[in-house]
Amino acid sequence: MAIDEKFNSIRKGLLEFLILRIIAADKVYVADMLERLSRTEFATQEGTLYPLLSKMRREDLLDYEWRESDAGPPRKYYKLTAKGRTQLAELNRYWKQINTTVDDLGQPT
Q: List interacting residues with another protein (CB under 8 A).
A: 12-13, 15-16, 30-31, 44-48, 50-52, 54-55, 57-58, 72-73, 76
Nearer to another protein, 39 or 58 (CB): 58
Shortest CB 102 distance to another protein, Å: 22
Comparing CA positions, the residue from 25, 32, 20 lying closest to residue 75 is 32
> HEC profile for the chain?
CCHHHHCHHHHHHHHHHHHHHHHHHCCECHHHHHHHHHCCCCCCCHHHHHHHHHHHHHCCCEEEEEECCCCCCCEEEEEECHHHHHHHHHHHHHHHHHHHHHHHHCCCC
Shortest CB 44 distance to another protein, Å: 7
Nearer to another protein, 50 or 100 (CB): 50
Nearer to another protein, 47 or 106 (CB): 47
Shortest CB 74 distance to another protein, Å: 10
Shortest CB 104 distance to another protein, Å: 27
